[in-house]
């Protein structure tokens, strides 16, 4: 192997998920946030052929004659769509594989040469690419070929993305765990044992962030205060306009950090709470502002009479929030905390507007079941260690805290009743949830959704400073051995 090493300032990090690509150049003592974050989609101007639009992350076949230069990516694609051009949209990684390597090349090329400003002829940068796990060996070879022959990179390494996410949160010798990655339309569950994905145990559930947004929009539709504000009697919205507004509002509520995760059964108790009916009455009567202001006055007047304090506590318990939305003030109640319910009970999505049909049906199972069954497919001796590293990540966790704890409480039946390990000394006694450590200063307030990029940066810093060159493919290695060289630097393929 080559004894090549690289300057930290030249190292490029590219994290590729089902629906997004994050990238950055340069490694520092304090690992930086990504400077590039774009949807993992490309566009192709239609030539009379009917094709699906941008209704969500899905793949479809593009013309085989399409060239890399014909695809629109990033801002160029956004501008074309905003201008109303007839564009077919493709998501080459959405199905958990690389469905079209030309589209993938177009995305990575855009990242390197347009977003990061590198030049092919003067390429001095090595690239660490983290990508969806479980790709076949020939896909690794094809990707390696693209980066060396099309992009002229100085060095290259591939990392399974769940491993990158896991490396971002582990400490000490904790090399086992289970990564739960909640994407837009899928949630991927990957058990990791001794630092490597257990491929036979991996699973995916066709429920994700978009389903949670659609579900909250459905709940908000039942809130007469919300619907009357968005679609007043004197200027009603068309049904499709109201649906679009509700979806946008639901996403704003999530992005505003106004959602917390309910404990199991808590939503049902809230529905049975008499206060829910009172909320509706108060909102309909237009008194929600008085309710909110009463809570503020309680804080301002600590010497209020006991009766007044009790009344203020009662009003605060209604848990109303008022937000600005498209120039209007919209008041929302406790229903916002039911945002994550579809993850734990996908049956709630049946008949909900805006939810894509879930196929195959046998994969539509509660997340806690998917995680429990995945871990139970690993070796008995490994399970105790795996349960000590439950990590929930994905964009949804950037604005919602406590998903890991909520999931850990729901998977307890799989720990306490596993028949093949009952009364065994390796029987797990509990679940430990992980999170991105606070000592990663720039990530401290960003949630856990950026763990993949952080972990890729950590591994890149170790790999490209390895003078033995055992953790990456150098240009000299590639010239002498070809694309198959990458298989030796990808331990999960061995």
What is the pLDDT, as a whole number, of residue 272? Answer: 46
Most confident of 260-264, 298-302, 372-376, 430-434: 372-376
Instruction: Name which residue leads in pLDDT, 106 or 364.
Output: 106
* Chain centre distance of CA 352: 22
Mean pLDDT throughout 355-369?
Answer: 79
Location of structure tokens 């590293």: 389
Tens digit of each residue's pLDDT (9 = 90 or more) over 307-342: 766 645 654 667 889 999 999 999 999 999 999 999
Phi, psi of 321 (to 5 degrees): -130, 145
Whole-angstrom distance, CA of residue 308 vs CA of residue 25? 58
Can you read off the two tokens belonging to residue 286? Answer: 């237009």
Superfamily of domain 170-207+362-435: ATPase, nucleotide binding domain (3.30.420.40)
CB 163 within 8 A of CB 132: no
Q: What is the pLDDT of residue 171?
A: 77
Mean of pLDDT over the chain: 86
Contacts of 373 (CB under 8 A, 6+ apart): 203, 414
Mean pLDDT (whole number) for 14-37: 93
271 confidence band (pLDDT: 50, 70, 90): very low
Residues whose CB falls within 8 Å of the CB of residue 23, separated by 6 or more in sequence, listed in order: 12, 13, 14, 15, 34, 35, 36, 111, 115, 116
Q: What is the mean pLDDT of residues 11-21?
A: 97
Average pLDDT over residues 411-422: 68
Give me the pLDDT at residue 415, please: 83
Q: Is the peptide bond before 360 cis (omega within 30 degrees of 0)?
A: yes
Domain regions of the chain by residue span? 8-37+103-168+441-493, 170-207+362-435, 209-344
- What would the pLDDT profile of 375-398 be if each residue is shown by its tens digit? 999 999 999 999 999 999 999 999
**Is the per-residue pLDDT at 124 higher than 80?**
yes
Within this chain, domains 8-37+103-168+441-493 and 170-207+362-435 share the same CATH topology? yes
Residue 273 has pLDDT above 60, yes or no: no
Give the sheet arrangement for strand 20-25, strand by strand.
36-39, 20-25, 12-16, 126-131, 155-160, 473-474
Q: Which residues contact 145 (CB under 8 A, 6 or more apart)?
A: 483
Residue closest to 77 by CA, chosen among 51, 110, 105: 110
52-88: per-residue pLDDT in tens? 445 566 656 677 778 999 999 999 999 999 999 999 9
User: For residue 278, what pLDDT band results from cuts at 50, 70 and 90?
Assistant: very low
Least trusted range by pLDDT, from 31-45, 340-354, 415-429: 415-429
Residue of higher predicted confidence among 43 and 412:
43
Beta bridge mates, 321: 332
* 171-188 per-position pLDDT tens digit: 777 899 999 999 999 999
418 vs 130: which has the higher pLDDT:
130
* DSSP 8-state code for residue 206: S
Q: Give me the pLDDT at residue 280, please.
A: 43
Question: What's the mean pLDDT in 276-281?
Answer: 41
The third-level CATH classification (topology) of the domain covering 8-37+103-168+441-493 is Nucleotidyltransferase; domain 5 (3.30.420)
State percent of the chain over pLDDT 70: 81
Q: What is the mean pLDDT of residues 42-51?
A: 70
Asked if residue 262 has pLDDT above 90, the reply is no
What is the chain's percent helix, strand, coil content, to nearest 5? 45, 15, 40
pLDDT tens per residue, range 199-241: 999 999 999 999 999 999 999 999 999 999 999 999 999 999 9
Q: Which residue has the higher pLDDT, 39 or 47?
A: 39
Q: What is the pLDDT of residue 31?
A: 86
Q: What's the average model confidence in pLDDT over 402-407?
A: 94
Query: Model confidence over 431-481: pLDDT tens digits?
Result: 999 999 999 989 988 989 999 999 999 999 988 887 665 789 999 999 999
Is the pLDDT confidence value at 294 over 80? Answer: no
Q: If you write DSSP's letter for every residue of 213-224 in order, what string do you get? A: HHHHHHHHHT-H
Question: Torsion over CA of 88, 92, 95 and 96, rounded to 10 degrees?
Answer: -170
Band (5; pLDDT cuts 50, 70, 90): confident
């Amino acid at each position: 192997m080559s004894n090549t090493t690289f300057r930290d300032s030249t190292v490029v990090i590219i994290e590729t998920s089902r629906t997004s690509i994050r990238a950055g150049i340069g490694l520092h003592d304090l690992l930086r946030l990504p400077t590039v974050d774009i949807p993992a989609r490309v566009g192709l101007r239609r030539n009379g052929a009917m094709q699906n639009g941008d209704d969500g992350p899905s793949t479809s076949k593009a013309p085989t004659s399409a060239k890399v230069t014909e695809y629109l990516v990033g801002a160029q694609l956004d501008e074309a769509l905003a201008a109303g051009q007839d564009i077919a949209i493709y998501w080459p990684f959405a199905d958990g594989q690389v469905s079209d390597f030309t589209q993938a090349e177009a995305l990575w090329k855009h990242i390197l040469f347009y977003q990061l400003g590198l030049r092919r002829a003067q390429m001095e940068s090595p690239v660490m690419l983290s990508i969806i796990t479980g790709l076949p060996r020939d896909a690794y070879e094809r990707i390696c070929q693209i980066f060396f022959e099309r992009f002229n990179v100085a060095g290259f390494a591939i990392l399974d993305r769940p491993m990158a996410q896991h490396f971002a949160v582990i400490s000490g010798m904790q090399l086992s765990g289970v990564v739960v990655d909640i994407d837009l339309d899928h949630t991927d569950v990957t058990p990791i044992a001794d630092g490597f994905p257990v491929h036979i145990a991996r699973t995916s559930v066709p429920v994700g962030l978009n389903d949670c947004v659609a579900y909250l929009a459905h709940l908000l539709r039942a809130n007469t205060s919300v619907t009357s504000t968005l679609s007043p009697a004197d200027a009603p919205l068309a049904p499709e306009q109201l649906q679009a507004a509700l979806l946008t509002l639901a996403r704003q509520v999530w992005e505003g950090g106004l959602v917390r995760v309910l404990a199991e059964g808590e939503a049902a108790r809230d529905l049975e709470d008499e206060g829910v009916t009172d909320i509706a009455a108060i909102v309909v009567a237009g008194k929600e502002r008085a309710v909110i202001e009463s809570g503020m006055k309680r804080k301002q007047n600590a010497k209020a009479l006991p009766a007044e304090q009790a009344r203020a506590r009662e009003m605060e318990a209604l848990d109303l929030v008022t937000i600005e939305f498209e120039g209007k003030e919209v008041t929302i109640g406790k229903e916002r905390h039911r945002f994550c319910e579809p993850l734990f009970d996908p049956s709630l999505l049946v008949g909900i507007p805006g939810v894509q049909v879930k196929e195959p049906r046998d994969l539509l199972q509660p997340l806690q079941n998917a995680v429990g069954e995945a871990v139970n497919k690993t070796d008995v001796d490994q399970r105790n260690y795996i349960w000590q590293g439950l990590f929930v990540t994905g964009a949804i966790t950037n604005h919602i805290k406590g998903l890991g704890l909520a999931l850990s409480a729901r998977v307890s039946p799989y720990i306490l009743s596993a028949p093949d390990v009952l009364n065994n000394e390796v029987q797990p006694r509990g679940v430990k949830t992980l999170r991105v450590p606070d000592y990663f200063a720039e990530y401290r307030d960003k949630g856990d959704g950026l763990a993949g990029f952080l972990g890729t940066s950590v591994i890149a810093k170790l790999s490209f400073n390895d003078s033995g060159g055992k953790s990456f493919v150098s240009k000299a290695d590639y010239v002498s051995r070809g694309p198959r060289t990458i298989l030796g630097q990808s331990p999960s393929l061995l």
